Amino acid sequence: MMEKPIEEMGLRDIRELARARMPQEVWRHFMGAAETRATFRRNQRSLQRFVFRQRIFHDITDPRTTVELFGHPVSTPAFVAPVGSFAMIRETAEREVGEGAGRARTMLFVSHAAISSPRDWKEASRAPIVFMGYLTRGREDVLRCAKLAEEVGFAAVGLTMDTVQPVKIGDRIPLSKIDGKPRTGHPASPKDIEWLKREVSLPLVVKGIMGAEDARVAVGAGADAVVVSNHGGRILDYNRAAVEALPEVVEAVGRKVPVLLDSGVRGGGDIAKALALGAKAVLVGRPVAWGVAAAGVAGVERVIRLFTDELKRVMIMTGVGAVSEITESILIRE
Ligand SMILES: Cc1cc2nc3c(=O)[nH]c(=O)nc-3n(C[C@H](O)[C@H](O)[C@H](O)COP(=O)(O)O)c2cc1C
């Protein structure tokens, strides 16, 4: 059977193509979630509980999806999530994700666990980039990378702080790629946020927030943005869905800092829902991995454009002219 061109593929096609092209163990790593996968499933199910309130009497035909974060305007609120293991897909996958993010005119979050250095990412991508450090790699290495990110012109730096316990896939904690030892967790302390804030002049993002109390602690310690995320269901089984935690985080800190969301976003409708509940933008994890596995640079670009086109369609059908004007009034909770 002839394969459709990537520009005509939907997410399901891209996912299946990625699955066929990835070795089974790599697929399992990417799709993996902790223990029973309850959190993983809940992320998507909770988004599915919202439906839209259609409105047709208006003159909106070309809604604006542009958002601005840390002074960088980007064409879509569908950003690329930090994923440490893109290189398991292909040696060149990180470069391809970087280039694809640039072509899609979105923002690129990159992981401390990736092989590429901040300089490599900067060379690979025209997108504004955010470096996301892991304290498990030591303060010294976080600082080295954050300083380099600052030097080469990243948009922001940050800390992924939810790995208080390590990522778990099923009942197994994956081996670390650097030294072959099992991964360990790292306690989360506001002192680490205060420390990095003192050391770098870029805006600081804290990822892994799942409630109002933690959001207040992060912002109190100096976070300039927070990411509501349960790490795509890879850490705590039977966690709340990210979208369930979003409203209280927005209520707690949304007037002070932008709130982003990830975990379970699988289309433009999900983005509209997250924005309606107060998120400024979303990060997309696994679907970007499917895009790069299926078709490299073009696959990454396709996933982001697909989600953005779907978002536009929802905006037209609910009567919203710009992403900043999306409010809860477009949603009905089932
Ligand atoms: C294979 C894989 C590797 C990941 N690596 C990282 C990482 O290195 N740093 C990080 O902050 N988050 C990491 N994440 C979490 C993502 O940034 C994001 O929170 C999650 O994938 C969002 O859920 P989604 O996959 O449902 O979109 C990883 C996720 C996956 C699936």
* Residue ranges of domains in the chain, CATH in brackets: 6-333 (3.20.20.70)
Query: Higher model confidence: residue 274 or residue 177?
Result: 274
**Residue minimizing CA distance to atom 20 of ligand 1:** 232
Which residue type occupies 238? Y
Q: How confident is the model at residue 178 (pLDDT cuts 50, 70, 90)?
A: low
- pLDDT at residue 206, rounded to an integer: 99
Question: Average of pLDDT values for 97-101?
Answer: 99
Q: Where are the beta strands (DSSP E) in the chain?
A: 50-52, 67-69, 72-74, 78-80, 108-111, 129-133, 156-160, 204-209, 225-228, 259-261, 281-284, 331-333
Which residue type occupies 188? A
List CB contacts of 219: < 8 A, sequence separation 6 or more.
226, 253, 256, 257
Per residue in 52-63, pLDDT (tens digit) is 999 999 999 999
Q: Atom of ligand 1 at shortest distance to CA of 230? A: 19
DSSP string, 82-147: P-TTGGGT-TTHHHHHHHHHHHTT--EEEETTSSS-HHHHHHH--S-EEEEE-GGG-HHHHHHHHH
72 classed as catalytic: no
DSSP string, 155-189: SEEEEE--TTS---BBTBPPBPTTTSSBP------
- Residue tagged 């037209």 (tokens): 316
Question: Average of pLDDT values for 15-37?
Answer: 98
Q: Atom of ligand 1 at shortest distance to CA of 44? A: 26
Q: How many whole angstroms from 181 Cα to the centroid of ligand 1?
A: 20
Q: How many whole angstroms from 60 Cα to the centroid of ligand 1?
A: 35
- pLDDT at residue 183, rounded to an integer: 86
Ligand 1 — pocket residues by CB below 6 A? 29-30, 43, 81-85, 111, 113, 132, 160, 207, 229, 231-232, 262-265, 283-286
Q: How confident is the model at residue 3 (pLDDT cuts 50, 70, 90)?
A: confident
Angle between helices 11-21 and 286-318 (to 10 degrees): 180
- Residue tagged 């650097």 (tokens): 178
Question: Which three-class secondary structure state does DSSP give residue 6?
Answer: helix
- Residue tagged 């450090």 (tokens): 133
Question: Average of pLDDT values for 193-203?
Answer: 98
pTM of the model: 0.98
Per residue in 102-160, pLDDT (tens digit) is 999 999 999 999 999 999 999 999 999 999 999 999 999 999 999 999 999 999 999 99
